[in-house]
Amino acid sequence: MNMTFYESIISTILVSGTPLLYSTLGEIYAERSGVMNLGVEGMMIMGAVTAFIVGKITGNLLLAVLTAILVGIALSLIHAFVSITMRGNQTVSGLALTMFGLGLSSVIGIKYVGSPGISFNPIRIPFLSQIPLLGPLFRMDALFYLSIILAVVMWYILFRTKIGIRIRACGENPAVADALGVNVSLIRYACTAIGGGLAGLGGAYLTTVSAPFWGDVMTTAGRGWIAIALVIFSFWSPLRAIVGAYLFGGIEAIQFNLQAYGIPTDILGMMPYIATIVVMIFSMSGMKRRFGAPAALGVPFVREER
Amino acid sequence: MRIAFVKREKAGFRRMIAVRTTAMLLALASVGMIFWFYGADPVEVYREIFLGAFGTKTGVSEVIVKLIPLLLCGVGLSLVFKGQIWNIGAEGQLILGAIAATGVGLWVPLPSYLVIPAMFLSGFLAGALWALIPAVLRAKMNVNEVITTLLMNYVAIRLLYYLVYGPWRAKEQWGNMTWSGFAQTAILPDHATLQTIPGTRIHYITLIIALTSLIFVYLLMNRTSFGYELKVVGDNLMAARFAGINISRVILISMIISGGLAGIAGVGEIAGIQHRLRPGFSVGYGYTAIIIAWLGGLNPLAVLVSTVFFSGILVGGSYIQISFGMPVGVINMFNGIILLFLLASEVFLNYSIKLRR
């Protein structure tokens, strides 16, 4: 096989998978604590547009990414307030957040449609980037490396630390967690905010690495929803999320390469969405109880009044 | 001192109106602030929206035009939502209805008086089938229908694009020369288009169907055992299972009706307004209908009122897009904020707020 072809496929897979990985990791924490946030698409696109604009105006990538994270957090706190404090319906609240994010991003981004922004440069890791076949893995951008480290750290925290136990307890049985002195609302707020920050970061990746352009709603094009499906695919585990995210990165890479064979773009464009549905079917049929969703997912916690 | 929520009796009608109205006003104020940041005078913007929608005869007739698809989708959604079945796919189901109707109108050889009924029927079936896929997945395998219905919207849009850019694209002809024209199908023959009330774009047949479906769904929800089962499924899935309710059947039937009505909305847009299939013919009716159903408290009669309100925003909103240079997305922003305020206000219906020492 042609080496440059191989390398371009690997880098397409990684670049397409990374934003999904960030958003999936964030949503895993939110859902593990018992909060389902369907606003991922809205938070991602707001992250994408703010990172693009801040990057373009200041020329500072770090600032661009930080802004996107903060915007993601701010939006997720709206969902947390509505669904945790005000006990609103989580499904509808998340949807509303997505609508709001899609709308607001197109209002603030209208002046920037089509103009180029700034982007991260790849960092070549000495020696490792020279390894045959694995080399392309070590010629990526900083945010890619960060996402892998983050997945491992988030897995460790969730399954090997006391904080992780508390988070999972809030998602499995908030009444017991409360009785043991865990502040359920606080943990749920915090995890929802983590979800928001990472969705914002995932969005930022789209406009600072994948393609430094602002293309309105087509910038995210449903990736937030794919990320939510990937949470189920990864059985709420940050490590499995890596597999899921790059599987979908692979689908995008195939999509690019099949265009050369004359298959209409729009038919190929259906692939990620259909693949997501197929993956959801397999995840559901293969799901055993112990891998199942957090038992209290989507259920507001109401402490009995005394 | 701390704030406590105490469960209260189901709120009365007056309290509900008061709470919802307050939530709406706060939402409008928040959107106003965004307009203000945007550099537009909020009062001026709202005045323009209101006058654009209700200030002229054309405005009012356009509000009715937009009301038709919104009502069809909104009524269907209030049915499924009552069962806590989250059909977020009305937009895709509407598109499928439009595709089916266009296909029938252009190519199925039928006596001309049968063409319109066949278009409505095929549109209903196409929308229902599109909704049936996620419905079966939810009913049989417990696959989350929020995500599947939503993803199928993206698939539907791609299918629409594929058709109008590909096999269904009309050829332009001049003398012996033909070439591919715009990304759209050929225009429908006259017997495949709907009559309108003279001087307006109101295709009254679809309007009548929409109002009939509203009454049908109202009766279905409130006067039949199916409606009762749907409510039990929505209130408490466990209880429904213990009561021996066939949950799968409830999911499938309500999704078929809701998808079918969205499909009919698509037929109306094609046969009544566009007269051909082209991209972007739906301005997110299926999404707006979600809020319409919610604002109407999932009661079909109240849904009619909320539909008028949102048709007004759509019509007035198109004026501000032009005069203040705002993108189409401004409607989405509006909708999202209103929905968030409504959700947050719900707590005041179900709980009393008490201050405690």
> What's this model's pTM, rounded to 2 decimal places?
0.89
CA dihedral (A96, B254, A289, A279) positive or negative = negative
In which residue ranges of chain B is pLDDT below 50?
none
> In chain B, where are the structural domains located?
41-325
Instruction: Return the pLDDT at B2.
Output: 64
Instruction: Return the pLDDT at B126.
Output: 98
CA dihedral (A279, A284, A287, A290) positive or negative = positive
- Cβ atoms of A41 and A76 within 8 Å: the answer is no
Rounded to an integer, what distance in angstroms lies between the CA atom of residue B142 and that of residue B128?
19
Give the tens place of pLDDT for each residue, A11-27: 889 999 999 999 999 99
CA dihedral (A238, A241, A246, A252) positive or negative = negative
Q: Among 3.40.630, 1.10.287, 1.10.3470, 1.10.3210, what is the CATH number of A3-291? A: 1.10.3470
Give the CB-side neighbour count of residue B98, counting CA atoms within 13 A.
34
Q: Which residues of B touch A42 (CB under 8 A)?
A: 336
Q: Return the CATH architecture of domain B41-325.
A: Orthogonal Bundle (1.10)
Q: Can you tell me whether residue B21 is helix, strand or coil? A: helix
For B353, name the nearest residue in chain A, comparing CA atoms only: A86
Residues 32-51, chain A, touching B (beta carbon < 8 A): 38, 42
Question: Inter-chain contact B143–A280, Cβ cutoff 8 Å?
Answer: yes
- Cβ atoms of A220 and A118 within 8 Å: the answer is no
Q: What integer best gives the mean pLDDT of chain A?
A: 88
For A98, name the nearest residue in chain B, comparing CA atoms only: B336
- Cβ atoms of B76 and B262 within 8 Å: the answer is yes
Instruction: Return the pLDDT at B127.
Output: 98
Instruction: Return the pLDDT at A194.
Output: 97
Name the maximum alpha-carbon separation found in chain B.
88
CB proximity A106 to B under 8 Å: yes
Q: Can you tell me whether residue B178 is helix, strand or coil? A: strand
Token pair, residue A145, equals 């490396």
CA dihedral (B212, B214, B218, B224) positive or negative = positive
Q: What is the DSSP string of A259-290?
A: GGGT--HHHHHTHHHHHHHHHHHHHHHH--GG
Confidence at A287, pLDDT banded by 50, 70, 90: low
Alpha helix locations (H) across chain B?
Answer: 13-38, 42-54, 57-82, 90-107, 112-141, 145-165, 204-223, 225-235, 237-242, 247-268, 285-295, 300-323, 330-345, 347-350
Rounded to an integer, what distance in angstroms lies between the CA atom of residue B179 and that of residue B171?
5
**What distances in angstroms separate CA A8 from CA A212, A252, A256, B56, one per listed residue?**
18, 12, 11, 58
Instruction: Return the residue matching tokens 């719900």.
Output: B346
Question: Inter-chain contact B158–A270, Cβ cutoff 8 Å?
Answer: yes
For B4, name the nearest residue in chain A, comparing CA atoms only: A305
Count of positions (residues) in chain B: 357
For B162, name the nearest residue in chain A, comparing CA atoms only: A266
Give the tens place of pLDDT for each residue, A194-204: 999 999 999 99
- Cβ atoms of A99 and A41 within 8 Å: the answer is no
Instruction: Return the pLDDT at A290.
Output: 46
Q: What one-character DSSP code corresponds to residue A296?
A: T
Rounded to an integer, what distance in angstroms lies between the CA atom of residue A68 and that of residue A43?
9
Give the tens place of pLDDT for each residue, A217-246: 788 888 999 999 999 888 899 999 999 999
Confidence at A306, pLDDT banded by 50, 70, 90: very low
Q: What is the DSSP string of B271-296?
A: IIIISS--TT--SSHHHHHHHHHHHT
Query: Given A82, A229, A269, which is nearest B344 (Cβ)?
Result: A82
Of B302, B296, B289, B299, the closest CA to residue B331 belongs to: B289
Our CA-based measurement puts residue B337 at a distance from the nearest CA of chain A, in whole angstroms, of 6
Our CA-based measurement puts residue B357 at a distance from the nearest CA of chain A, in whole angstroms, of 13
Rounded to an integer, what distance in angstroms lies between the CA atom of residue B292 and that of residue B309?
9
**For residue A204, what is the enclosing H or E element?**
helix A184-205
Cα distance from N-terminal residue to C-terminal residue, chain A: 71
Q: What is the DSSP string of A34-72?
A: T---TTHHHHHHHHHHHHHHHHHHH--HHHHHHHHHHHH
Instruction: Return the pLDDT at B219.
Output: 97
Q: Tell me, what's the ipTM?
A: 0.89
Token pair, residue A23, equals 């958003």
Instruction: Return the pLDDT at B193.
Output: 95
Rounded to an integer, what distance in angstroms lies between the CA atom of residue B295 and that of residue B89?
18
A-B contacts (CB, under 8 Å): 158
Percent of chain A with pLDDT over 70: 95
- Cβ atoms of B102 and B132 within 8 Å: the answer is no
Range name among A57-66, A68-77, B90-99, B325-334 with the lowest pLDDT average: B325-334
